[in-house]
Structure 1
Amino acid sequence: MRRTTVKTALWRTIASLDTFLLAWFFTGNAATALSIGGLEIFTKLILYFIHERVWGRLPFGIEKAGGEMAVG
């Protein structure tokens, strides 16, 4: 669990840094880029949560008893 937590935090840092750098490149303004990068952290957390909840309700790819795959 510790490894997963560290990997998750590291990936979130890399992804947010990428967003910050791209925003800075396109806007030319570090303060604006920081605002975009900061907001992106929260919006992507919300979007990921919704994404997971939707996928949790889909039978696609889940094996039924007897090894059959649910198709949809």
Structure 2
Amino acid sequence: MILDQPLKKVFETKPGKDSNLKSLLKSISWRIVGTLDTIIISFIITGQLTMALSIGSVEVVSKILLYYLHERVWESATKTKTADAEKEYARS
């Protein structure tokens, strides 16, 4: 609770908008969960822990990059629509 406001300033560039750092940290934490899931499923299918860990290690790097890019595209798309709406109200 004490660190709530200082951390909020670090993670938000504008009120209600996620920063690049927050998107990166979200992608890493989500990939930890996703990679554990992939390792477990791979182990169930192959029955080999080494194979499951190999699949999980390759998957984690590619998915972090893809999620980060996906998150930034969504942030960009949302920002554009908001800016357009503000211009419409300004004209009226």
- The equivalent of 2:15 in structure 1 is none
2:46 alignment partner, one of 10, 24, 27: 27
More helix by share: 2
| Structure 2 residue 65 is the aligned partner of structure 1 residue 46 | yes
Distance in 2, matches of 1:16 and 1:25, equals 14
* Paired amino acid for 1:51: H
Q: Could you tell me the percent identity over the aligned residues? A: 33
* Paired amino acid for 2:57: G
- The equivalent of 1:70 in structure 2 is none
Q: Is the radius of gyration larger for structure 1 or structure 2?
A: 2
Structure with higher RCO (Cα < 8 A, 6+ apart): 2
CA-to-aligned-CA distance 1:3-60 (integer Å, 9 cap, x gap): x68x73543322111010001111111101001111111110222244345443x479
1:12 alignment partner, one of 27, 31, 50: 31
How many residues end up aligned between the 2 structures?
A: 65
* Structure 2 unaligned blocks of 5 or more: 1-6, 11-21
* Structure 1 unaligned blocks of 5 or more: 68-72
TM-score by length of 1: 0.61
2:81 aligns to what SS in structure 1?
Answer: coil
